[in-house]
Amino acid sequence: MLDRKLNHRSHRAAARHRQTETRIKLFVGFMKGHRLSLEGNAPRPCRRTEGVGS
């Protein structure tokens, strides 16, 4: 019973860690793409830098 509790807690922590990891990866990728679009090296630049959009 006790190790089951510990197991569950560690699994929860691992899941949370994975979630934050993917979020950081997404954020870093977004920043990289934004910087590239600002430099003009991106294959499809941001709409914001193009001036198109609402």
Q: Output the six-digit token pair for 47.
A: 């709409």
Identify which has the larger pLDDT, 49 or 21: 21
Block residue for tokens 């993917």 = 22
Residues 6+ apart with CB under 8 A from 46: 33, 34, 37, 38
Is 0.75 topped by the overall pTM?
A: no
Side chain identity at 36, as an amino acid letter?
A: L
pLDDT at 37 (0 to 100): 62
pLDDT digits (tens, 9 = 90+) for 8-47: 778 788 888 888 999 988 888 888 877 766 666 555 555 5
